[in-house]
Structure 1
């Protein structure tokens, strides 16, 4: 049985993972608090990059590169195209503020307290030593093509429908039948 390390002497991996987590949480907060949509998309890139770095620290190189290629490279670009195609306001918009910030802040803080309490209580004594190769392409590929084929295909059809819907909504030369 392996000895569980102390929380008072963190390793280099744990420190880097903690710093990447702080960057991801900070960028996520900026995503939801900024008033400019393009800046929110760029902060989302920073958040996804920090998550990819976390996957690298956890020895899941394949998952990290998929995170960069799919989320940073495709999803954020799709969001930016959606913003541009639907002619959404790109700059600051005063009419988007509903005035519910205090209530939203209370709900967010309460939710965060509950989630942190549950995670800390559930994983207080849990320790899993990292082993290289757990995030390899062979293991991930066999899992995806054995267990997750149907959800993966449903998600691809859903994203295609969303893209077609954005194009149809943004086109002004398409008219309904009269």
Structure 2
């Protein structure tokens, strides 16, 4: 399997975009800007999935993560209604402890990745041309029960969030 120079350039461009925006998510002082950088990171991850010919995963990445998750975080920020949005993403003194923990996790991942026999994990067969149809058939036949349970759990979480937000709104209005 040959890789073209354009695929390599696209990969490195997406990798730099992901790493740069993920860094900006951490270091941005405004939480709304952090969410926007996170959305760009998720969209670039969708681009990586496209490079791997995983069109369904790319679409899910962009729709669910870049779309729904980032919008949900922005709504959560808006519901909090802080007067000064610039004071929402404060730095603290635990930066070095966090950096040490991240270094430890990266080192452990490197050790495990080095010890994994990757060639044994690769499927011998070709990837089907129409992956969306295969995934859809699996979701609606073999995995229909877990799929429906996940949908019900998301519905319950949504209703719970609405009840909690409404309860806080009622308490705030009673206190006036």
Q: What TM-score, normalized to structure 1?
A: 0.73
SS at match of 1:99: coil
Contact 1:59–1:135 under 8 Å retained in 2: no
CA distance in 2, matches of 1:82, 1:50: 24
- Residue matched to 2:159: 164
Distance 1:151 1:49, change over 3 A: same
CA distance in 2, matches of 1:54, 1:159: 27
Kindly state the Cα deviation for residue 96 of structure 1 after the two structures are TM-superposed.
4.2
Whether 1:140 aligns to 2:135 is yes
Contact 2:30–2:89 under 8 Å retained in 1: no
- Residue matched to 1:155: 150
RMSD over aligned Cα atoms: 3.5
Residues 78-127 of structure 1: CA distance to partner in whole angstroms, max 9, x if unpaired?
22112112325672227844411111001111211221232243256577
Q: How does 1:30-41 map to 2 (within 5 A)?
A: 30-41=24-35
Contact 1:37–1:90 under 8 Å retained in 2: no
Q: How does 1:107-126 map to 2 (within 5 A)?
A: 107-122=101-116
Number of aligned residue pairs: 170
Contact 1:48–1:72 under 8 Å retained in 2: yes
Q: How does 1:4-19 map to 2 (within 5 A)?
A: 11-12=4-5, 13-19=7-13
Whether 1:74 aligns to 2:68 is yes
Contact 1:61–1:135 under 8 Å retained in 2: no
- Residue matched to 1:62: 56
Q: What TM-score, normalized to structure 2?
A: 0.74
Query: Which of 22, 27, 32 is the aligned partner of 2:16?
Result: 22
Name the structure with the higher helix share. 2
The higher-RCO structure (CA 8 Å, 6+ apart) is 1
